């Protein structure tokens, strides 16, 4: 659409996006925090776009596994990046759709005229996930801190049992069901009849497409180089999870992880724990023109949805996508590309199946199936299985990747979807013109 307003609201431009390389947890970024990664990407994004920091009205940033020493990650990113201290900031969290939430929150503020320039994104360090103490040990530590003598300080620990000293890792299971995401993906594969072969093919295509994109230089302008502090002797220039040499035969030999006897979800057809950060610059269309920026694209519509986490936990995109399409006044057949977050290949296949299903449409209360997803237009430069999945950063990565590919192909529209913990789903439709 050519007009600067839709439904009386200002049109929101995505001017540019940038991310760090995505690295498998415990590798090149192992010594960095989520704040380190977020600071780096925001600093570099502002510099690369030659954006006057005084033009920035707000920063909306998110993180899924919070840094206990810097829980207000958005505000800490502003301060650590050296941006003007007057810049407003707030932190968002919507599980794996966190930076989609950041995008939408920023876009809504711009559309309503509350801001002109916003940085939105997310960051995650799975290498630096917080480790908790047991409650008895926590209570003992607090009591000990109040002791005035050494015996007083030691006394609270005398009642502890051996198990009380064990560290407590972050929960990886759904609080409401007790199931991990992998177990839920396994359940979806079985209930929806998703074969191991289809899952491995989705993973294979993800690696092949990402490897090709790197080889052809498609990521050069959207992935920054990182000299890793504090010694700056090591550098990260590419995602280190992509496997150019993987094969369907190699993938087929991997053992199931979550159901070792009857399962089909493996380390090869699931996204790995990842470190990384990504950010977007959002502006009103008028502001982008005034500052001389040519937008990558515009946010046409969005939708969030939720389903029973005890049913099909990762089926949220199939509920959100039809709503986003309706709000955009479009059908799936009108969409040029589809970017679907690959938490698990089983989840991707299940959502594609649901979008084409009359039974699912009836169950969801839609007038009819959304339609068939053309696999040749799906995740054409790779997805989370091959690139990685830093929870808070994936949405911004997908948006940047999608818009750059639309430009390269001279196409106009893309549907981006993300499944998330809690049975949540997100969908956005982006357009270039």
Least Cα distance to 355 among 331, 380, 329 occurs for 331
Catalytic residues: 96, 389, 419
In Å, how far are 7, 93, 193, 229 from 105, measured between CA atoms? 17, 11, 37, 32
For the chain, what's the residue count?
433
Structure-token pair, residue 57: 């009205």
Residues 289-304 as b/e (b if ≥16 CB within 10 A, e otherwise) read eebebebbbbbbbbbb
Distances (CA, A) of 253 to 194, 249, 346: 18, 7, 17
Residue 401 has φ and ψ, to the nearest 5°, of: -60, -45
Residue (of 388, 357, 54, 16) closest to 239 by Cα position: 388
The CA-atom distances, in angstroms, between 265 and each of 43, 248, 387, 427 are 38, 14, 18, 25
φ, ψ of residue 292 to 5 degrees: the values are 85, 25
Using CA atoms, how far residue 61 sits from 178, 211, 214, 253, in Å, is 29, 29, 27, 40
Place of tokens 């989370």: 384
Integer CA distances (angstroms), 287 to 13, 112, 115, 310, 420, in order:
9, 14, 10, 45, 33
Beta bridge partners of 304: 426
DSSP state of 134: P
**DSSP states along 286-335:** HHHHHHT---SEEEEEEEEEE--TTT-TT-HHHHHHHHHHHHHT--GGG-
CA 298 vs. chain centroid, Å, equals 19
């Amino acid at each position: 659409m050519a007009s600067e307003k839709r439904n009386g609201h200002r049109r929101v431009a995505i001017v540019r996006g940038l991310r760090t390389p995505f690295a498998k947890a415990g590798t090149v970024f192992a010594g960095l925090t989520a704040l380190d990664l977020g600071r780096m990407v925001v600093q570099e994004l502002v510099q690369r776009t030659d954006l006057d920091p005084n033009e920035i009205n707000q920063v909306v940033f998110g993180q899924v596994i919070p840094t206990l020493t810097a829980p207000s990650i958005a505000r800490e990113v502003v301060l650590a990046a050296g941006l003007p201290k007057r810049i407003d900031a707030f932190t968002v969290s919507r599980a794996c759709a966190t930076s989609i939430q950041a995008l939408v929150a920023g876009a809504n503020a711009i559309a309503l005229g509350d801001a002109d320039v916003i940085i939105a994104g997310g960051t995650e360090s799975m290498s630096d996930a917080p480790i908790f103490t047991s409650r008895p040990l926590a209570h003992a530590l607090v009591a000990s801190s109040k002791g005035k003598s050494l015996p007083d300080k030691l006394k609270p620990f005398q009642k502890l049992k051996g198990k009380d000293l064990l560290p407590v890792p972050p929960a990886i299971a759904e609080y409401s069901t007790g199931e991990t995401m992998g177990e839920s993906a396994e359940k979806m594969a079985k209930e929806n009849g998703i074969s191991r072969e289809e899952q491995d093919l989705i993973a294979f295509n993800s690696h092949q497409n990402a490897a090709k994109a790197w080889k052809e230089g498609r990521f050069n302008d959207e992935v920054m180089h990182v000299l890793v502090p504090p010694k700056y002797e090591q550098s990260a220039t590419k995602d280190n999870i992509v496997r150019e040499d993987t094969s369907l035969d190699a993938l087929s030999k991997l053992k199931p992880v979550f159901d070792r006897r009857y399962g089909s979800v493996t380390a090869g057809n699931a996204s790995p724990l990842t470190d990384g950060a990504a950010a977007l610059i959002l502006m009103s269309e008028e502001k982008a023109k005034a500052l001389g920026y040519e937008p990558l694209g515009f946010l046409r519509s969005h939708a969030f949805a939720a389903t029973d986490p005890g049913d099909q936990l990762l089926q949220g995109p199939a509920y959100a996508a039809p709503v986003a399409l309706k709000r955009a006044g479009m059908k799936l057949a009108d969409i040029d590309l589809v970017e679907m977050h690959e938490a698990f290949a089983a989840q991707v296949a299940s959502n594609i199946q649901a979008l084409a299903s009359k039974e699912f449409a009836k169950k969801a209360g839609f007038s009819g199936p959304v339609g068939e997803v053309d696999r040749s237009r799906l995740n054409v430069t790779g997805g989370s299985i091959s690139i990685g999945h830093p929870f808070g950063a994936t949405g911004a990565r997908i948006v940047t990747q999608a818009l750059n590919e639309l430009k390269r192909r001279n196409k106009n529209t893309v549907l981006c979807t993300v499944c998330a913990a809690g049975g949540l789903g997100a969908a956005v439709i982006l357009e270039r013109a």
